[in-house]
């Protein structure tokens, strides 16, 4: 698997691809993008390459028919084929052999479904050719873990031709790439060590303070791992002339859980809104139907992440929280108290739901919650002061992660990222990351498994 935080990708694949891409005449750069993306995927998952290639051809042919005929049954058929492909591989990987699931199938399948729906609804102006369609489906910055770019955004690409424009795009993309690399290598990977240490001790044997620290740790690890990846993917897209895709928008500053999930993995959330929630009737129907629509969306969201019970349970719990915020708080709870409840849901309940997300074994999950809330069950910590030792080791990383949750810091970076001081700081950050990677085995991005 080629990992964005792998030194081979950073110093071999990416620079070689950029040189080849910009030496190619602008008219043919989509061909270079397609070839490079297929090579990237084949190196990462040769067994899944046939699945990706077949899905590309089949979806292109159906898209061609849908674009010209606008037949609803064609749309329904190809959407069912894509969805069944995704379900089949998820079930096979869970119950037969975990290597059956092609890398990134959850992401490129959703791209294909949105492409077909947008063609049918006339959101794509011109009928795309095979090269453009195939390059969109498998473009290497997004094929493994998203973001789920719409084809209309893909069409907004600018294939720069002057040296000044090319170097400016590469430089700006590198800024985002380096920041994301730092989040992944220096924060997420070190927080992962604490979470792994907790698992090594045994969930039934940790103290209650360490259990709560662990919940916060995993929440921050997941956030900076996936936000870091998203910045790196978006940065590579910028280098190639594509618009910057915002996939995370300071979710922990949200006022409630509904807003949290509009800001967290925004490309996935907007996909569910546009292609499942709104077609079901969205919010234009009765409260009972809205309730049912939300339930369907969150059950599918849970299944999309995995077929084990913990993911389904996670989706159901998020649904319950959002339903409470939508149907109970407004008009039934004082406004000031409702705002407090919303913030508590984001800062306390969300980390607890991530624990459910993280632990697939039901017995282990139960043991962890017994340590979080020891009055619900028995359990004695092997070392009641274990949290002190772990804070001594990982406290600095936790502190930096918590500081970076402040939304003003990233906005300041966005506004001033081209300032010479930031250029120097990012240069230093890049080489610190390289040094760290050269002394570590490397840790794949967490969302690769979805």
Please identify which of the residues 190, 265, 305, 419 carries the catalytic annotation.
305
Catalytic annotation on 305? yes
Dihedral pair phi/psi, residue 293, rounded to 5° = -60, -45
Q: Which tokens in the block code for residue 426?
A: 């990012």
- 3-class SS string, the chain: CCCCCCHHHHHHHHHHHHHHHHHCCHHHHHHHHHHHHHHHHHHHCHHHHHHHHHHHHHHHHHHHHHHHHCCHHHHHHHHHHHHHHHHHHHHHHHHCCHHHCCCCHHHHHHHHHHHHHHHHCCCCCCCCCHHHHHHHHHCCCCCCCCCCCCHHHHCCCCCCCCHHHHHHHHHHHHHHHHHHHHHHHHHHHHHHHHHHHHHHHCHHHCCHHHHHHHHHHHHHHHHHHHHHHHHHHHHHHHHCCCCCCCCCCCHHHCCCHHHHHHHCCHHHHHHHHHHHHCCCCCCCCCHHHHHHHHHHHHHHHHHHHCCCHHHHHHHHHHHHHHHHHHHCHHHHCCHHHHHHHHHHHHHHHHHHHHHHHHCCCHHHHHHHHHHHCHHHCCCCCCCCCHHHHHHHHHHHHHHHHHHCCCHHHHHHHHHHCCCHHHHHHHHHHHHHHHHHHHCCCCCCCHHHHC
CA distance 450 to 360: 14
Question: Do residues 66 and 74 lie in contact, with contact meaning Cβ atoms separated by under 8 Å?
Answer: yes
Residues labelled as active-site residues: 305
């Amino acid at each position: 698997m080629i990992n964005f935080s792998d030194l081979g990708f950073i110093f071999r694949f990416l620079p070689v691809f950029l040189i080849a891409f910009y030496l190619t005449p602008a008219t043919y750069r989509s061909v270079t993008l397609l070839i490079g993306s297929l090579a990237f995927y084949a190196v990462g998952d040769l067994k899944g390459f046939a699945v990706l290639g077949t899905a590309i051809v089949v979806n292109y042919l159906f898209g061609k028919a849908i674009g010209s005929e606008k037949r609803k049954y064609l749309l329904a058929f190809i959407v069912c084929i894509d969805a069944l492909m995704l379900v089949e591989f998820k079930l096979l990987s869970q119950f037969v052999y975990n290597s059956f699931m092609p890398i990134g199938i959850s992401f490129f399948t959703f791209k294909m479904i949105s492409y077909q729906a947008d063609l049918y609804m006339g959101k794509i102006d011109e009928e795309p050719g095979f090269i453009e369609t195939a390059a969109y489906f498998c473009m290497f910055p997004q094929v493994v873990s998203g973001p789920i770019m719409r084809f209309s955004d893909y069409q907004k690409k600018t294939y720069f031709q002057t040296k000044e424009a090319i170097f400016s795009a590469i430089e700006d993309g590198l800024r985002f790439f380096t920041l994301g690399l730092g989040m992944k290598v220096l924060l997420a990977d070190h927080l992962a060590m604490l979470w792994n240490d907790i698992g090594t001790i045994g969930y039934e044997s940790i103290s209650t303070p360490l259990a709560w620290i662990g919940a916060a740790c995993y929440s921050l690890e997941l956030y900076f791992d996936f936000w870091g990846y998203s910045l790196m993917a978006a940065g590579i897209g910028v280098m190639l002339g594509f618009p910057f895709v915002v996939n995370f928008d300071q979710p922990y500053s949200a006022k409630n859980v509904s807003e949290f999930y509009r800001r967290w993995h925004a490309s996935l959330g907007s996909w569910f809104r546009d292609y499942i929630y709104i077609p079901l009737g969205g919010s234009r129907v009765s409260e009972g139907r809205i309730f049912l629509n939300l339930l369907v969306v969150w059950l599918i969201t849970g299944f999309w992440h995995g077929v084990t019970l913990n993911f389904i349970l996670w989706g159901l719990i998020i649904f319950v929280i959002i339903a409470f915020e939508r149907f109970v708080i407004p008009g039934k709870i004082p406004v000031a108290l409702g705002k407090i409840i919303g913030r508590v849901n984001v800062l306390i309940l969300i980390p607890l739901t991530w624990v459910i997300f993280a632990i697939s074994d039901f017995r282990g999950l139960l043991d962890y919650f017994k340590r979080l809330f020891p009055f619900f069950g028995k359990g004695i910590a092997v070392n009641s002061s274990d949290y002190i030792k772990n804070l001594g080791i990982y406290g600095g990383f936790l502190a930096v992660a918590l500081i970076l949750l402040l939304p003003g810091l990233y906005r300041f970076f966005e506004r001033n990222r081209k300032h010479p001081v930031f250029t120097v700081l990012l240069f230093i950050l890049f080489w610190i990351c390289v040094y760290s990677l050269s002394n570590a085995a490397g840790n794949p991005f967490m969302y690769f498994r979805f």
